[in-house]
Structure formats: structure tokens, C-alpha cells
Structure 1
């Protein structure tokens, strides 16, 4: 299991944001600097640009017709879908507008209608993650059925297939990301029939928009392409989408310290010590949708994306003042850390297999 380097705080300080608390001091600095102010101009340009590129891809799709060159359009659309998903992510965190209704509308359009993911399901799941990042019993991103993130999870795997997967998960991790897009679509549909939506009142609208997306997507493919081309298009599109999404979210927490029920951590330490930032400048800002500032994002989830870069110096200095490890690495270094962690988690199962 990932070693715990998490530092306890005094009793009674777990969620304190009292005037003198470590987090409150930082929060006042950030607020006074205007970093929590909405950025409507930025998001207007981002949304218009995404929709413009989406429209160009659609135009190319129609003009190419029954051609295998369409597979390049499929791959490109996988990238466009991920950029659209980043805007849906920001809407879910109330980063775009001051009105919850406007944010939800943007989230439904970007999530359900444009890319076919349930906005309500994702917000419910993602909020649980933000409240308990890397918590072994509470973070839904850690409680994965496919990947074992701790040796305890690996040891409890039952069945030949799941144990074999845990043994070799470091080698299988990136290939598995090719299926992440399909997994997100399936989870979105399942949420409509379960209790994972968060707000039951939104189910009719979510179902309608998901249905419009699915019907429009399949109709366009079957009208323009041959059945075989349509099938390959779906595979390429969803694989690129899933891989890009997975590669964007994977470096944020995987391989960082995990949290147990016995760990007594305040909000500042729980968010900082379980998160990893990715260096790379403005190129990384664009490619990773601002998720490369994971520490700042977890400390201030409603902070607009373009303000995360500005907040970094304040947050880094504050962490240094309090002796908190501020973890930052390059993108390839982060993937290396993730893979080494996953390989280490599967080691006990490999020893058992070798002994048998």
C-alpha cells in the first residue's frame, strides 16, 4: 500500500475554517486577490471555440462521406469530446457562472447532449471524491472494481480473472483506458435506473438529452457511413475519448498517499497531500483542462480554470510555510509514478502466484 505520510492535526480541527485556521488564512488571501471571481469572458470564448471545432468536425464528416478517412475524424472527435467534457467538469464545480441554474444548464448541454455522459451522475460521484480524496473507504475513484489501488484491495480480489488483472495491472493500465469512454457511457445509463443521479428531479431531462445524443449519434453514422465503417468509427472515437479522459485524470491522485478512517487530517492537509500537480505551462493547461493544477483545484473547487495558475504561487508558498509537501512533476514522470505504484500494489499477488 502507498505509505502514509499524512500528518495529523490537533483534535477538533478536521474541518475547521475558523479565522485562525491554516486553510482560512490561505482562503482569505485567494479571495482578496480576486481569484474566485467568475471569468465569463474566458468561458464564453472556450465554449464558442469548442462548439466551432465540433462544427468543423461535423462538416468534415459530412463532406468525406463513405470514406475510411473518416477514422481521422473519429479520432479528432475523441479529442473534441474530452475538451467539451472539461467544460462540463467546470460547470459541475460552479466555476463558470454565479447561478447554479446556469451552471447546471451548461453541464447538461455539454455532458448529456453533446458527449452522452450523465451530468447529474458525474457531479454526485465527483463531489464524493472531492470530499474524500484518496480515502480508502469513501472515495469512489479509489473504490474501483477494475484497478486495485492498495494492497488490501488487491488481496481481497476473488476469482482468477480479477486476481490476474491486479497482478499485471501496471502493464494493463493504459490499454484499459481505451475502454474508459464506454465505461462512462454505461455508468451514465445505469444511473438513470438507480440512485446514483443525486437529484431525482433531473432524471427526465437527463434521460431525454442522453436519448437525443444517442439517436443523433447513431443516425449520423448509419446515414453517412457503411455499417462496417460506422462500427470502426465508434471504436476509434470512443477509444480516443476514453484514453484522453483517462490520461487527463490519472495523474491527479493515483500513487499519492491514501487516507484511512484513523487519519485525523484537516481540510488543507487532506487535499494537498493526496494531490499531484503536473508541470508543463500553458500547453499542459490546455491539454489537461486545468486539471494539472490539482492541488489548487481541490483546495478551491469553484475557482475558475484560468485563475488556478495565478493561485499556484500563493498555495505553494503557504504549503512551504506549514511544512506541507507540495507534489509537482512532469506529465511523463507522473505516469511513471502511477505505474510503479500499481505494480507495487500487485506484488503480493505475484508472490503468491509464483509460490503456487
Structure 2
């Protein structure tokens, strides 16, 4: 796979030309609208949601049919992939790619997210909206806020305790840690019910409780304890690794912003995002998020239109001299892991430095 990139200008510079650059996105938006790429695709989403729903039914049918059998681990792995596809469907619903109206989008998002996979729609919406507004901004984007992992050398220098230990080896630990991401989504969703920003928290809580109780009850009623625990961990591990493999290539290792560093909307979205090249199988596996640049520019664009939009956006960025980065899936993981290793350097140097006498 190859990497196509145009050397980007600084994310912000004294000679911004704000009045001119402020219209760059408007001109691109007109081209996209004239191509008809913002139209809804009800037929596509009817088929897609039906197929994902059938896969979910097939998975649970296999689970109850097999009963006490170690073949259940194959079902667990399959269900991890199905939960990933459900999360991608919830993502499209939240961005109003499926329905124009807010109410229909919220109802669909809560059914798929809270009830289907045990992930709070309200929690995810709050977090993801802030990410879209300021991608890769270290103070404003929750996806690059320091936690267990650090995303910049400044964050690494401030890391102590467990984050400090993990930060030294985070490139090697990244994919193993993703096996816990499914559990993290469930825990974060429940904890978010206490947050003041949460709307319809009673409904959100009821749907989450229904999913979690039903899920755990099904495992321990149908399977003996040891097998149930094995199913639980494998299912959530595959789910977590799948989600992480989809989302990590999108921004990790791309330029980050700090403080008042805020270029115009087009450059803020394009220069901090990475596209993943591939064919129809990549489009299905990554749910269209392999066109991350186009998705960030037009978040309510139906995912089947993103491939066509890419041609327009890439050509337009070339006209402006704006960096447009795309690479293969494995190469995108490699770039993200290289970035994680580099930002952990201060922690490794700190460990090697002799203690003051």
C-alpha cells in the first residue's frame, strides 16, 4: 500500500489569511452539494441495518442452540465483530446520516447503542461531539486527553503512577490494552449517568440495565461459570480490539493542537485526520470511517457517499496545497504505534537518568 500526502503548511501561522481561508470550506461544500453527496440513502441503510440485525439474531440463536459447548468461543468472537458493526451503526445514527430528524436519530441510537451493545448513546454523543469540534486538540479533544495512555511528550512528562509506567511501553501494550476497551465502554456508560450533561438519564439507565442484566443472565444460565467467563472475556476482547483497530488509525500520529492553535475549519479537520486506503471490504470493516477526512468535513454525509466525496476533497486539497494523508490499514497502525513510542520517550529517558545524589 502507498502513502499519498502533500506537505502540509503549519497548522496555524501568522499569515493565515483568515478571510480567504474562511471561505475555503464553503467552496468545497458547494462542490459536494452539487454532486448530490449529502442526500440521504434510506435504501442503503435499510439493507445495512437489516443485515447487522440479522447477524445479531444469528449470533444469539447460535448461542442458545449450542448450549454448553466450547464452540461457544467461536460464537463469542463472531459476536465481538457484530457488536463492532452495531457500534458503527450507532455512530451513523448519531451523526444523522440515517435520519434527518433528531428524535428518530436519538431513538435509533439508544436502541442500537444502549440496548444493543450496552454503550450509552448520550455519553458517546457528548464525547464524540467535542472530538469533532476540536480533533487532536490536547485540551479540548477527549480522545487525546491523558489517561492510561499519553498522546504527546508534554503529557508524558506529566504522567505519574500507572500512566507513567504504561507510557514507557505503550506502543507494545496498545493492542493488549484494547482487549479491555469493551469493558471500559460499559463502565464509562454507567458512570456517565451521574454527569450533569446527560439527557434522558432515566431512559438511558433503564436501557443499559436491561442490556447488562439480560446479557450476564444469558451467559450464566446457558453456560457453566467457567465457560460463561471465557465467553464474556473473549467477546468483549474482540469487540474492544475491533473498535480500537477502526478508530486508532483515524487521528493517532497526526499533528496535534494546543492552546490557541486553531486553524480554520477545513484545515483543522483535514490536517489532523488520516484516511485508510482499500476496497469495498475495507469500507465494510471500517464502516466508512476509513474516509476519516471526508467524514470530519461532512459528518452527516451518508457513509456510502464518502468514497465519491474523497475524489473531490483530495483534488480540492491539492489545489489549496493542504496536506491530505492516506495510507494502508497496516501502515496506519504502524504510524499510530510509532507515534505512541515516540511520545513515551521522556518517560523512558526519565527512567534511565541517574537519581540525583
TM-score by length of 2: 0.94
Q: Is the 8 A contact 2:262 2:268 kept in 1?
A: no
Q: Gaps spanning 5+ residues in structure 1: where?
A: none
Runs of 4+ in 1 over 6 A off after TM superposition: none
Matched, 1:310 2:308: yes
- Decide whether aligned partners of structure 1 residues 125 and 15 sit closer, same or farther in structure 2, where only a CA change above 3 A counts: farther
What is the distance in 1 between the residues matched to 2:97 and 2:108?
11
What is the distance in 2 between the residues matched to 1:344 and 1:64?
47
Matched, 1:103 2:101: no
Deviations 1:174-202 (A, max 9, x none): 111111111111000000122352xx2x1
1:33 alignment partner, one of 30, 35, 40: 35
Deviations 1:95-129 (A, max 9, x none): 10111111111100110000000001101100000
Deviations 1:310-342 (A, max 9, x none): 100000001000001110000010111111111
2:139 alignment partner, one of 137, 140, 146: 137
Q: Is the 8 A contact 2:146 2:155 kept in 1?
A: no
1:142 Cα deviation after fit: 0.5
- Which residue matches 2:46? 44
2:16 alignment partner, one of 10, 30, 33: 10
- Aligned residue-pair number: 346
- Which residue matches 1:277? 275
SS in structure 1 at match of 2:235:
helix
- Which residue matches 2:165? 164
What is the distance in 2 between the residues matched to 1:143 and 1:215?
31
1:4 Cα deviation after fit: 8.8
Q: Is the 8 A contact 1:7 1:269 kept in 2?
A: no
What is the distance in 2 between the residues matched to 1:168 and 1:218?
34
1:171 Cα deviation after fit: 0.7
State the Cα RMSD in Å. 1.6
Alignment of 1:168-183 (within 5 A): 168-183=169-184
What is the distance in 2 between the residues matched to 1:57 and 1:274?
37
Alignment of 1:1-356 (within 5 A): 5-8=10-13, 10=16, 13=19, 16=22, 21-159=23-161, 161-197=162-198, 200=199, 202-356=200-354
SS in structure 2 at match of 1:141:
helix
What is the distance in 2 between the residues matched to 1:338 and 1:147?
13
What is the distance in 2 between the residues matched to 1:278 and 1:181?
23
1:262 Cα deviation after fit: 3.2
Q: Is the 8 A contact 2:18 2:264 kept in 1?
A: no
TM-score by length of 1: 0.94
SS in structure 2 at match of 1:90:
helix
- Decide whether aligned partners of structure 1 residues 174 and 4 sit closer, same or farther in structure 2, where only a CA change above 3 A counts: farther
